[in-house]
A and B are shown apart, each in its own frame.
Chain A
Amino acid sequence: MGAAHLTAWFAALAIFVLLWQFGEPISKWAFDYPKAWQIPLARWISDAMKWLVNEASFGLFTFTDLTRFIADIVNLPYRLALSLLSTGFLSGQGSSAVQILPPLSWIAVIAVVTLIGYHAGGRRLAAIVAICFGFLAVFGQWQSAMVTLASILVAVPLGVVGGLLLGIAAYRWPRFETALTPILDLMQTIPVFAYLVPILFLFGFGPTAAIVATLIYAMPPMTRITVMALRAVPSEFRDLGNMIGCTRRQMTWRVLVPSAKDSLMVGVNQVIMLSLNMVIIASMIGAGGLGFDVLAALRRLDIGAGLEAGLAIVALAIALDRLSQAYAARAGAPVAPASTGGLVARHPYTVAAVAVILVTGVAGLILPAVQTYPDALKLSTGSFWSNVVGWINVNFFDTFEAVKNAVLLNILIPFKRLLGGLPWLGVTGMLAFAGWRLGGLKLAAIVGVLAFLIAATGQWEKAMITTYLCGISVIFAALLGIPIGILSAERARLWSWVRVIIDTLQTLPSFVYLMPAVMLFRVGDFTAMIAVVAYSIAPAIRYTVHGLMKVDPRLIEAGRAMGCTPFQILTKIKLKLALPEIMLGLNQTIMFALSMLVITALVGTRDLGQEVYIALTKADTGRGLVAGFAVAFIAIIADRLISSGAARTKARLGLV
Chain B
Amino acid sequence: MPLPAAPCGGFFLLSQTPQTGRMMTASEPKLICRNVWKVFGAGAGEFLGVKDADTSLASLSKAGLVGAVRDVNLEVHAGEIFVIMGLSGSGKSTLVRCLSRLVEPTSGEILFNGENLLAASESRMIEIRRHQMGMVFQHFALLPHMTVLANVAFPLEVQGVDRETREARAKKMIDLVGLSGKENFFPRELSGGQQQRVGIARSLSVEPELWFLDEPFSALDPLIRREMQDEFVRLQSVLKKTIVFITHDFDEAIRLADRIAIMKDGSIVQAGTPEDIVLNPATPYVAEFTRNVPKAKVVKVGSIMRAAKSASGTGATVRERATIAEAAPIFANVDRIGVIDSTGKPVGVLHRDDVVELMMRG
Beyond A239-B135, A239-B137, A334-B189, is A244–B143 a contact (Cβ under 8 Å)? no
Q: Is B240 in the interface zone, CB < 8 Å from A?
A: no
Contact A259 B143 (CB under 8 A): yes
Contact partners of A242 in chain B: CB under 8 A: 102, 129
A368 within 8 A of B: no
A244 touches B147 (CB 8 A): no
Chain B nearest Cβ from A212, distance in angstroms: 33
B155 at interface by CB-CB < 8 Å: yes
Which among A254, A258, A334 has the highest number of chain B CB atoms within 10 Å?
A: A334
Residues on B with C-beta less than 8 A from A236 are 137-141
| Given A236-B137, A243-B135, A245-B129, A337:B147 Cβ within 8 A | yes
Q: Evaluate contact between B186 and A240: CB separation under 8 angstroms.
A: no
A240 vs B145: C-alpha distance when bound (angstroms): 15
A247 within 8 A of B: yes
How many chain A residues touch B (CB < 8 A): the figure is 21
Interface bits B119-160 vs A (CB < 8 Å: 1, else 0)? 000000011011101110111110111110000001100110
Q: Which of A252-291 contact B (CB under 8 A)?
A: 254-255, 258-259, 261
> Contact between B126 and A234 (Cβ–Cβ < 8 Å)?
no
Residues in chain B near residue A483, CB distance under 8 A: none
A247 pairs with B126, CB closer than 8 A: yes
Question: How long is the Cα–Cα vector from A245 to B208 in the complex, in angstroms?
Answer: 12
Please provide the chain B residues from 151 to 202 with a CB less than 8 Å away from any CB of chain A in the complex. 154-155, 158-159, 184-186, 188-189
> Does A237 interact with chain B (Cβ within 8 Å)?
yes
A residues within 8 A CB of B212?
Answer: 243
Contact of B155 among A237, A244, A247, A334 (CB under 8 A): A244
Q: Does A250 contact B (CB under 8 A)?
A: yes
**B139: which of A234, A254, A334 is its contact (CB, 8 Å)?**
A234
Q: Which residues of B contact A244 (CB under 8 A)?
A: 129-130, 154-155, 158, 206
Is A414's CB within 8 Å of the partner chain B? no
A547 to chain B, nearest CB (A): 31
Instruction: Assess whether A243 is in contact with B126, with CB atoms less than 8 Å apart.
Output: no
Q: Does A246 contact B (CB under 8 A)?
A: yes
CA separation between A246 and B155, bound complex, in Å? 8
The distance in angstroms between the C-alpha atoms of A259 and B142, with both chains bound, is 9
Write the nearest CB–CB distance from A77 to chain B, whole angstroms.
27
Most chain B beta-carbon contacts within 10 A, residue among A236, A246, A259, A261: A236
* Contact-size category for B: 20 to 34
A238 nearest in chain B by CB position: B102
Bound together, the chains give a CA A239 to CA B144 distance in angstroms of 16
| Distance from B77 Cβ to chain A, minimum over Cβ atoms (Å) | 22
In the complex, which of the residues B100, B138, B143, B145 contacts A243, with contact meaning CB atoms closer than 8 Å? Answer: B100
Bound-state CA distance A354–B349 (Å) is 84
Per DSSP, chain A at the interface is helix
Contacts of A237 in B (CB 8 A): 141, 143
Q: Assess whether A332 is interfacial by the CB under 8 Å rule.
A: yes
B356 CB to closest chain A CB (Å) equals 48
Residues of A within 8 A of B225 (CB): none
Identify A261's interface contact among B134, B138, B145, B189, CB under 8 A. B145
Query: Is residue B352 within 8 Å, beta carbon to beta carbon, of the partner chain?
Result: no
Q: For the complex, what is the distance from the CA of A250 to the CA of B189, rounded to whole Å?
A: 26
Which residues of B are found within 8 Å of A258, using beta-carbon distances? 143-146
Please report the C-alpha to C-alpha distance between residue A247 and residue B143 in the assembled complex, in whole angstroms.
17
Q: Is B97 interfacial (CB-CB < 8 Å)?
A: yes
Roughly how many angstroms separate A255 CA and B158 CA in the complex, as a whole number? 10
Q: Is there contact, CB below 8 Å, between B130 and A245?
A: yes
- Scan residues 7-54 of chain B and give those whose CB is less than 8 A from a CB of chain A: none
Given contacts A242-B129, A244-B130, A337-B184, contact A234 B159 (CB under 8 A): no
In the bound complex, CA of A261 to CA of B154 (Å) = 18
Question: B126 is contacted by which of A240, A245, A332 (Cβ under 8 Å)?
Answer: A245
A393 to B141, CA, bound (A): 64
A587 smallest CB distance to B (angstroms) = 33
Distance in angstroms from B347 CB to nearest chain A CB is 43
| A-facing residues in B75-110 (Cβ within 8 Å) | 97, 100, 102
CB distance from B148 to the nearest CB of A (A): 11
Contacts of B185 in A (CB 8 A): 334
Residues of A within 8 A of B131 (CB): 245
Bound Cα distance A242, B127 (Å): 11
**Residue ID in chain A nearest B127 by CB atoms:** A245
CB-CB contacts of A434-465 with B at 8 A, as 1s and 0s? 00000000000000000000000000000000
Report the nearest B residue to A251, measured CB to CB: B158
Q: Is the CB of A243 within 8 A of B129?
A: yes
B contact residues around A243 at 8 Å (CB): 100, 102, 129, 133-135, 212
Alpha-carbon distance between A43 and B155 when the two chains are bound, in angstroms: 59
Shortest A249–chain B CB gap in Å is 11
Known: A258-B145, A334-B186, A337-B147. A240 touches B135 (CB 8 A): yes
Bound together, the chains give a CA A242 to CA B102 distance in angstroms of 7
Q: Please, how many angstroms separate the alpha-carbon atoms of A56 and B82 in the complex?
A: 66
A255 to B144, CA, bound (A): 10
Name the CB-closest residue of A to B184: A337
Are B159 and A240 closer than 8 Å at their CB atoms?
Answer: no
Whether A245 contacts B159 by the Cβ 8 Å rule is yes
Q: By the criterion CB–CB under 8 Å, are B189 and A239 in contact?
A: no
Docked CA distance A548–B134 (Å): 47
Task: Report A210-247 residues with CB < 8 Å from chain B CB.
Answer: 234, 236-237, 239-240, 242-247
Q: Which residues of A contact B138 (CB under 8 A)?
A: 236
The residues of A that contact B100 with a CB separation of less than 8 Å are 243
Bound Cα distance A254, B146 (Å) = 11
Query: Are the C-beta atoms of B137 and A240 separated by less than 8 Å?
Result: yes
Residues of B287-306 whose CB lies within 8 A of A? none
Distance from A257 Cβ to chain B, minimum over Cβ atoms (Å): 10
A234, A239, A250, A332: the one contacting B158 at CB < 8 Å is A250
A259 to B145, CA, bound (A): 7
Q: Considering the chains assembled together, what is the distance between the CA atoms of A335 and B188 in angstroms?
A: 11
Q: Which residue of A lies closest to B189 (CB)?
A: A334
The residue in chain A whose Cβ has the minimal distance to the Cβ of B188 is: A334
A244 to chain B minimum Cβ distance, whole angstroms, is: 4
Contact A239 B102 (CB under 8 A): yes
Q: How far is the CA of A254 from the CA of B151 in the complex (A)?
A: 11
- In the complex, what residue of chain B is closest to A245 when comparing beta carbons? B130
Distance in Å from the Cβ of A243 to the closest Cβ of chain B? 4
Tell me the A298-340 residues at the B interface (CB within 8 Å).
Answer: 332, 334-335, 337
Beta-carbon contact of A239 and B97 below 8 Å: yes
How many angstroms between the C-alpha atoms of A259 and B187 in the bound complex? 12
Closest to B132 in A: A245
Per the bound structure, the CA–CA distance linking A255 and B138 in Å amounts to 18
- How many whole Å from A247's CB to the nearest CB in chain B? 7
- A contact residues around B147 at 8 Å (CB): 337
> Given A244-B129, A244-B158, A247-B126, 8 more contacts at CB 8 Å?
A240-B141, A243-B212, A245-B158, A246-B158, A255-B143, A334-B185, A334-B189, A337-B147
8 A-B pairs closest in CB distance? A245-B130, A334-B186, A244-B155, A236-B141, A245-B126, A245-B129, A243-B135, A337-B184
Q: List 10 A-B contacts (CB under 8 A).
A: A242-B102, A244-B155, A245-B159, A246-B158, A247-B126, A254-B154, A258-B145, A258-B146, A332-B144, A334-B186
Enumerate chain A interface residues (CB-CB to B < 8 A). 234, 236-237, 239-240, 242-247, 250, 254-255, 258-259, 261, 332, 334-335, 337
